[in-house]
Structure 1
Amino acid sequence: MTAFGVRFGYGPAAATVPEAIADVQAIAALPPLVTQAEAQQFHVDYNANAGSDTRLWRERARDYRRAEVRGRISRGLTGLGVGNRLHSFWADHFTTLPKNYQTYPMQVSMTEEAVRPHIAGRFADMLKAADLHPVMMFFLDQVASAGDNSPFALSRPGTGLNENLGRELIELHTIGVAGPYTQDDVREASNLLAGMIYGAYQGVRYDVKRAEPGVETVLGVEYPDDSIAEIHRMMDDLARRPETARHLATKLAVHFLGDEPLELIDEMAAAYLANDTALVPVYEVLFSHRSWPGAKLRKPLDWMIAGLRALGVTPAEAEALPGSFIDAFILEPLGIMGQPWDGQGGPDGWPEQAEAWLAPNQLAARLDWAMTAPTALFTQLGRMLPDPRLPGLTDNTALWVGRAQSAEAGIAAMLTSPELQRS
């Protein structure tokens, strides 16, 4: 059993800023659970074999999702948990949803290979890796896009430009909805992106026949060439804008601190711009901020991880959990609590407001999980339930935990206490 942590991770709150940064760097350096090449091969194999046994291949696809769940939990139990929280934050910033079983492994590749390795690097690099990843292109229908005046569209009536990726690149991923852009900027960015496609057998590639001829102008910058290099240049330019710096700084502050301290946001944005979109200097400002604990209501997955950590579950034990346990005690409850895995519902990710997570059925689901999951878990692990009287409990919580009539009730009281519900 361990003491409660607050704000930035799941572990002890006494960590220094260098220790927190080291935790982020350690999580970023871990190898991906699935590479894009492996996910593409699964896509090919699924297409070739699913007809012979659809149930088998769908179960294999689900196994990739379960592996990602285990990985996210075990990393939350490793070190301070700061890197894991940032991984989850950036994966949500670049929300994607797999549209079919074939792309389940590709969804894991997205968060594991396009997002996580860059959480200690430059945002510009993360942006390019994430927005040009196959799952992003599937999710936002980029695979069906072509410039209206491209040779591809002109020879195929009914085809043409899809603006989804261009819009989310500007509105959500970089400068934000309050940024100084127009519909023309969205369309021009979409035209520049039009040549990017993905196919299971060809992979990600640039098809110049789909590109819109001519010069595109996005936020006053001209992009005359039809090429991936020009797309990368546009993304670098968007990443380096001051509006992007402020948008990202605000999202980080709200996510971790629960308010919008203007002075802190200004300092974080300045660090971002002064270091060519490097994220570690931004985190250093954030982690140095002395705010109050308990300001943020934990989302369901973060709460589960904090609870498992408080109960003394080890990363190795989390990695060894069978798929049936993951389904019954992680994935199904997450859905009832309002945070279904890969189920954000839209590209803007999960809401930050506490009200979004406080519906009666959601709170009832947390209580049910606190009463039943620990017993099932420790039965699975072959261990006795731990003592719920943790160091760090307030006197009031310690009183109620101590008065519990059973170990199960004491653990439930501890897990549903303000100390665990908030960070």
Structure 2
Amino acid sequence: MVSVPTIAAIRFGAGLSPNTPAPANADMLYNSLQAEARPAFPPQPWAERLSLLQNRATLLRTSREETATPADRSAFEGAHQALRDASFTDLRHAIAELAYADCGFHERLTRFWANHFAAMGMGGALMRTRSAFIHDAIRPHVTGRFSDMLRAAVLHPVMLVYLDQFRSVGPNSAVGRRQGRGVNENLAREVLELHTLGASASYTQADVSQFALLLTGLRVGPQNEFMFDSRIAEPSILEVLGTRYGARVTRLEHIIKALDDLARHPDTATHIARKLARHFVADAPDPQLVAHIAAAFSQSGGDLMTCYRALLEHPAAWENPMAKTRAPVELMAAAIRALSIPRDGFLALPSRRTRLELADPLQQMGEAFEAVPNAAGHDDAAAYWVTPQTLAARIGWVTALVQRWPDGPDPRAFVDLALGDAAPDALRRAARGAETRIQGIGLILASPAFNRR
């Protein structure tokens, strides 16, 4: 039988570590959230990343001019490399945030919400900005209110560009009438279907269309900053889910009111509760667990700490351990954590090694850094991460990692360090029978047991 501390560390945290004890119970998990709310390894700030991007764009234009010199092209290559270096640093920091956390529950939740509000920088102006988006729009609200996170994520420039909101113009606005431009429904549809109510909720196409008209006016400014532009906002009273918003002069507060109403909707409570339970516990979570979290969401007005307490206190959250598959980043962090790889050496990896040892393998495993597969994010099903190609990539990465760190512990001891009482008897026998230390540790890290949570 798998113990509560092992389930706490593996299902809800970053994994077992020889350096920090596993959370003893649900209370310790819950209390870790505030203690780990401040990131130990933050990404490059949004303003600094935009400055790098602007410098790169300027030098790119110069390098393409007929009068461009070799020095101009060299300057662009240097700016492009600076952007890549900053992104690779963000990748090391993202993995380190899990691998070296005392618990890791906060970071797991940050990853959950970042996938819920899936978005990435599109085009040269916002390329490699997903980490900054997560840091700005998601992380500050992980222990706050869902409505605040919803506002921050939906109104962020990365989301507005990713879902083509910059193309949306109210047809009866000043710009719409003059230029004959129209509305784009992408953002409205995804906010309703993915971010709040859920695909099975009782909204209609008319709600999507009216909400899309209400969202006109949201745009990204010349410095890639958020703007509300009344010249492109639809000047009308619009009805979404039976509630009227807008006016003859539509304002940003009308949109915020609609977002707040969606955040408090009962369908949103059920959608969020089901996703939390499905992510952490099981592909088909206990309906009573989902109902318990949904009730906590509704009664607290979307207070997320209350929802996490509801998740952790329900008995179903601690049943059927090891039912999910670790995502690639989680696998990397858990392996680094179990092997006790020195933090300073990991953080100091140069860009070339970061690409070869982290970025390229992540892409091969199906979780490319700074990218999402679509607006729905990565699937939460356990089988999503398991294909012949991605399994081969996992084994290849684990094998290379162990060879780079040959002085690991005895496999017979490491199986307990890595999996505790979740280690199957067959894996313990295989660890005892390994011919070499490297072979034994690699076998444990590549095992189905270690790849599950």
TM-score range, shorter chain: over 0.9
> How many angstroms apart in 2 are the aligned matches of 1:356 and 1:212?
41
Select which of 197, 200, 203 maps to 1:181. Answer: 203
**1:417 aligns to 2:435 (yes or no):** no
Deviation sequence 1:360-417 (CA, Å, 0-9, x none): 12111111111112323x38xxxx3343332223332122122222222111111022
Alignment TM-score, normalising by the size of structure 2: 0.87
Distance 1:180 1:66, change over 3 A: same
SS at match of 1:50: helix
1:250 partner amino acid: R
1:112 partner amino acid: H
Select which of 3, 19, 30 maps to 1:21. Answer: 30
The farther-off stretch of 7-16 and 351-360 is 7-16
> How many angstroms apart in 2 are the aligned matches of 1:365 and 1:200?
41
Q: What does residue range 38-117 of structure 1 map to in structure 2 within 5 Å?
A: 38-51=48-61, 52=72, 53-77=75-99, 78-104=101-127, 106-117=129-140
> How many angstroms apart in 1 are the aligned matches of 2:253 and 2:48?
25
Residues 128, 370 of structure 2: 8 Å contact kept: no
SS at match of 1:6: helix
> How many angstroms apart in 2 are the aligned matches of 1:151 and 1:202?
23
Residues 122, 278 of structure 1: 8 Å contact kept: yes
SS at match of 2:318: coil
2:346 counterpart residue number:
318
SS at match of 2:121: coil
CA positional deviation for 1:231? 1.1
> How many angstroms apart in 2 are the aligned matches of 1:19 and 1:200?
46
Distance 1:369 1:58, change over 3 A: same
SS at match of 1:11: coil
> How many angstroms apart in 2 are the aligned matches of 1:45 and 1:344?
25
**1:10 aligns to 2:34 (yes or no):** no
Residues 270, 291 of structure 2: 8 Å contact kept: yes
> How many angstroms apart in 2 are the aligned matches of 1:353 and 1:3?
22
Residues 43, 103 of structure 1: 8 Å contact kept: yes
Q: What does residue range 2-401 of structure 1 map to in structure 2 within 5 Å?
A: 5-12=9-16, 13-30=22-39, 32-51=42-61, 52=72, 53-77=75-99, 78-104=101-127, 106-157=129-180, 159-201=181-223, 203-225=225-247, 226-258=250-282, 259-288=284-313, 289-376=317-404, 378=405, 384-388=407-411, 389-390=413-414, 391=416, 392=420, 393-401=423-431
> How many angstroms apart in 1 are the aligned matches of 2:105 and 2:80?
33
SS at match of 2:11: coil
Deviation sequence 1:209-247 (CA, Å, 0-9, x none): 000011111111111241121111111100000100100
CA positional deviation for 1:105? 5.0
**Structure 1 stretches lacking a partner, 5+ long:** none
The farther-off stretch of 114-123 and 353-362 is 353-362
CA positional deviation for 1:65? 2.4
Distance 1:106 1:365, change over 3 A: closer
2:452 partner amino acid: R
Distance 1:418 1:367, change over 3 A: same
The farther-off stretch of 26-35 and 132-141 is 26-35
SS at match of 1:420: coil
Deviation sequence 1:237-282 (CA, Å, 0-9, x none): 0000010010010001011111321101111011111111111111
2:67 counterpart residue number:
none
Residues 249, 265 of structure 1: 8 Å contact kept: yes
Residues 61, 101 of structure 1: 8 Å contact kept: no
Alignment TM-score, normalising by the size of structure 1: 0.92
Distance 1:219 1:3, change over 3 A: closer
> How many angstroms apart in 2 are the aligned matches of 1:315 and 1:17?
28
> How many angstroms apart in 1 are the aligned matches of 2:84 and 2:239?
42
Distance 1:76 1:315, change over 3 A: farther
Question: Larger Cα Rg: Structure 1 or Structure 2?
Answer: 2
> How many angstroms apart in 2 are the aligned matches of 1:202 and 1:153?
22
CA positional deviation for 1:314? 4.4
> How many angstroms apart in 1 are the aligned matches of 2:209 and 2:82?
39
CA positional deviation for 1:134? 0.6
Residues 23, 80 of structure 1: 8 Å contact kept: yes
CA positional deviation for 1:75? 1.3
CA positional deviation for 1:202? 6.4
> How many angstroms apart in 2 are the aligned matches of 1:20 and 1:285?
12
> How many angstroms apart in 2 are the aligned matches of 1:359 and 1:323?
28
Residues 120, 371 of structure 2: 8 Å contact kept: yes
SS at match of 2:220: strand
The farther-off stretch of 173-182 and 15-24 is 15-24
Query: Identity over the aligned pairs, expressed in percent?
Result: 33
> How many angstroms apart in 2 are the aligned matches of 1:200 and 1:313?
44
CA positional deviation for 1:296? 0.7
> How many angstroms apart in 1 are the aligned matches of 2:327 and 2:15?
16
Residues 8, 287 of structure 1: 8 Å contact kept: no
Residues 40, 203 of structure 1: 8 Å contact kept: no
Q: Cα RMSD over matched residues?
A: 2.1
SS at match of 2:12: coil
Deviation sequence 1:79-111 (CA, Å, 0-9, x none): 111111111111001111222343135322211
> How many angstroms apart in 2 are the aligned matches of 1:269 and 1:24?
20
1:49 partner amino acid: L
Distance 1:406 1:372, change over 3 A: same
1:405 counterpart residue number:
435
**Structure 2 stretches lacking a partner, 5+ long:** 17-21, 62-71
